Structure 1
Amino acid sequence: MKKVAILSYDGCWGMGVFAAADFFRIVALLEQHLGLAQTYAVEVLSSDGAQVRAASGHLIRPDAAITQTGGHDLLIIPPVEGARLVAGFTPEPDMLAWLTARERGGARLLAMTTGVCFLAEAGLADHRLLATHWAYVRQMKKRYPTCQFVPQQSFLQAGSIWSTGTLNGSFDALLEILALDRGDQFAQLCATHLLVSAPAQLNPILPGHRNHCDEVILRLQNWIDSHHAEAITIERMGHEVALAERTLKRRFQQATRLSPNLYVQKVRIDRAKKLLLANSLSVKAIAYEVGYENVSFFVRLFKTHVGQTPAQWRKCETLLNTFDLG
C-alpha cells in the first residue's frame, strides 16, 4: 500500500488539504465497490503534530507530526494564502528538511499553486519549470530567481516534482499520479466521479505534453482542447496563433514532443475515453462528438492508441451502475 502525506501548516488553504483528502476517499470508495485492494493510506501531518490554523481561521487537526511517521510515496503541499506570501511567508525549516529527505528517498512531491514556495525554498526545484497561481508568478520569480515559474491551468511535472497552477490542476495532477499507480482506465473512472464538473465537460488536457514554457504553443493547446471536435488543419492552427505552417510544426514538436496532428488525435481519443465511461451514447455518437464522422476509422484509431476497442474500454463502466458517492 502506498502512503500519502498531506501537509498542513498555519496559513494554508484548508480547501487544498481537504480536496486532496477527499480525492483519495473517492479512490478508496471506487476500489471498495470494484472489489479491489486499497492502494493508498492517507495522513494529514503538521510539523509537530499540533493543530494548525488555516487561512480561513479554522483549525485543522492533523493525524501526526512529520517525525512520527515515514515511508511516504507521495507528499502533498497545499497552497499558502496569498496575503501571507506577499507579507514574506517562509516555510518552517524542519518541514523543508523533511521534504528534502523524503524527496531524496524517492517520494513524489506535489505542490498546489502557491505551495510551490516550499519546493523553491528547499532548493528542490532549481532550474526547473514550475507551475503556480498566475497572480504570484512575478513575485515567485523575484524571490526565487533560480526557478522558472509559469501560470498553468493544469500542472507541470519535472521528475519527482509536480506543481499546479489551479485547484482543478491539482485534481489533474492527482489523476495522472493515480493513472501511473492504478492504470489509465481506473483514473478515468475516478475522473468521471470526482464531481468537480460534469463528466462530459472534463477536458482532455494531455498534461504530460505541457511541460514547456512556449506560451504560443500552450495557447494553441488550449484552443485544440476546446475545439477538438471541429475540423482542425495545420492551416487553421497556424491562423489561430499567427504562425507559418513550417514554424508551427517545428515549435509544436519541440515543445510537446508530438506533431500537431498526433496531438489532436490524442486529445480526441482522451475525450472519447471519458465519454465512454460517463454516458450511454453509442460508439458512433461518441465518434462524431470527438470529431470523427467515420466510425470504423475511429474504432481503429481508438484501438491503436488505447489497446482496446471502445466497447472493451466501456465494459468496466457497467460495474459502477449502482455506485453512489452520496
Structure 2
Amino acid sequence: MSGPPPLEALILALPETAGSALYGMIDVLSATGTLWEQLVAEDTGARRIVPRIVAHTSHAFDCGNRIPVQPDFSVGDNPQADVIILPELWLAPDDDMHGRHREVVEWIRSRYLGGSIIYTACSGSVLLAASGLLDGREATSHWAYRDLFRTRFPQVSFRPEPNLVFADRTGRIVTAGGTTSWHDLAIHIISRHCSPGEALRIAKIYLLKLHGEGQLPYTSLVRRQPHADSIVRRAEDLLREHFRELTALSLVIAECGIPERSLKRRFKAATGLTLIAYIQNLRIEEAKRLLECEDISVEEVAVAVGYENCAFFRRLFKRCSGLTPGEYRRMFASIGVTPAIEG
C-alpha cells in the first residue's frame, strides 16, 4: 500500500540568494524519507518532500558568490505548491529591496492567498516584508536587520531574539532568524509536514541542531546607525571612549553642548536607543569580549566594564544575551581554540 503523496515545495532563487541556504535546503528536504533508510535500514524508502526551484526567470543564472542556478519554473509560469520557501539573501543591512522583483513579490502574495504556507530563512523575511504580508504581524530575521525593520518596516512587529517566529496562530507564515537558521527551518518543515521522528532522523544524519538559545547570544548590541545628526554622532564617539566610567553619561551631556532633554530625544530618534541603553550595550559587548578571550572571573569582568554590583551585572548580561556570563563563556570561549594534534 503506497503512502501519501510527497509534499510539493517551491524554493525561491534570485540573484541575491545565498547559494548555501538554497542548496542546503534542497539537499536536506530531498533526503526526507530516503536517506536514513538507505544508511541504517538498508531500504530505499520513499521521498516525503519534493523541492523545486522557482525564480524570476526560467533561464540559468548565478546567485550569490557566482553559484549557478537552473530554475525548474519561473514565477511567470505561476507554479503552485503546498509550501513556498524564501531562503537567505545577500543584502546590506539597510537594503529593503524597494522596487525590485515586483513580479516575484506579486507571485508570493498570490500564493499566500491561494493557500500556500510561506517560510522564510534569515533575510528572506525582508522580501516578505516588502510584499506587505508581514504587516501587523510578528516576524524575525538575522539580528543585523533589526534596525532595517524598525525604520523601513515599522508596521512589522520585529522580534530579534527567537530563531523561529509564527506570524499568527494559523502558522501560515513562519520566519526564521540568522544565517544558519535554515537548519531550524528545515527541521520544523520536516517535523510539521512529515513527522517529528523523520525530522529527528534527518537532524542526526546532517548533524543539525535546533538553536533553542535563540539569536541573542550571537547578536552584536552595538552597531553604527546611518544618520545625519552630527551631535548624536559626537555622543556615540564619546560613549565608545568613556563607557566604562561611572560619569560617562554626565560627561557626554556636558561635551555635546545642548540641553539634556534635547540630546536624549535626538539620540533616541537617531539610534533607536536611550543613552543609558547605549552605555549598557557597550559594556555588555566589552564583557562578551573579555569572557571570550580573558581568563578572569565574572566579578573581575563586571568591574572592568563599569559595574561594581556583580549581581546587577549578571542580571543585565542575561537579559541582553539570553545567557548567564558563565554559559556565554562556555559557549564561545572555545571557538577560537584549535584542538591539539596528537603525534
Q: TM class, shorter-chain normalised?
A: 0.5 to 0.7
User: Unpaired runs of 5+ in structure 1?
Assistant: 197-201, 208-238, 243-326
Structure 2 length as normaliser, TM-score? 0.55
CA separation of 1:27/1:123 partners in 2, compared to 1, >3 Å: closer, same or farther? same
In 1, the alpha carbon distance for the partners of 2:36 and 2:80 equals 22
In 2, the alpha carbon distance for the partners of 1:74 and 1:155 equals 16
Structure whose CA Rg is larger: 2
Q: Is the 8 A contact 1:13 1:55 kept in 2?
A: yes
CA separation of 1:119/1:87 partners in 2, compared to 1, >3 Å: closer, same or farther? closer
From 186, 190, 195, the counterpart of 2:198 = 186
In the TM superposition, what whole-angstrom CA distance separates every residue of 1:215-262 from its partner, at most 9, and x where no partner exists?
A: xxxxxxxxxxxxxxxxxxxxxxxx9758xxxxxxxxxxxxxxxxxxxx
In 1, the alpha carbon distance for the partners of 2:119 and 2:88 equals 11
Alpha-carbon offset, residue 114 of structure 1: 1.0
Alpha-carbon offset, residue 57 of structure 1: 2.9
- Paired amino acid for 1:189: R
Q: Is the 8 A contact 2:31 2:47 kept in 1?
A: no
In 2, the alpha carbon distance for the partners of 1:131 and 1:13 equals 18
In the TM superposition, what whole-angstrom CA distance separates every residue of 1:282-321 from its partner, at most 9, and x where no partner exists?
A: xxxxxxxxxxxxxxxxxxxxxxxxxxxxxxxxxxxxxxxx
Q: Is the 8 A contact 2:30 2:47 kept in 1?
A: no
In the TM superposition, what whole-angstrom CA distance separates every residue of 1:80-108 from its partner, at most 9, and x where no partner exists?
A: 2123x635533411111111111112211
CA separation of 1:13/1:203 partners in 2, compared to 1, >3 Å: closer, same or farther? closer
Alpha-carbon offset, residue 27 of structure 1: 1.6
Specify the SS of the correspondent of 2:139.
Answer: strand
In the TM superposition, what whole-angstrom CA distance separates every residue of 1:136-157 from its partner, at most 9, and x where no partner exists?
A: 1101221111102222452112
CA separation of 1:130/1:46 partners in 2, compared to 1, >3 Å: closer, same or farther? same
Q: How many residues align?
A: 209
- Paired amino acid for 1:183: S
1:41 aligns with 2:50: yes
Alpha-carbon offset, residue 116 of structure 1: 0.5
Over the aligned positions, Cα root-mean-square deviation in angstroms equals 2.9
Alpha-carbon offset, residue 67 of structure 1: 3.1
Task: Name the structure 2 match of 1:276.
Answer: none
More helix by share: 1
1:17 aligns with 2:25: no
Specify the SS of the correspondent of 1:185.
Answer: helix
1:133 aligns with 2:133: no
CA separation of 1:241/1:155 partners in 2, compared to 1, >3 Å: closer, same or farther? same
In 1, the alpha carbon distance for the partners of 2:193 and 2:109 equals 23
In 2, the alpha carbon distance for the partners of 1:92 and 1:67 equals 12
Structure 1 length as normaliser, TM-score? 0.57
Matches within 5 A, 1:226-265: 241=315
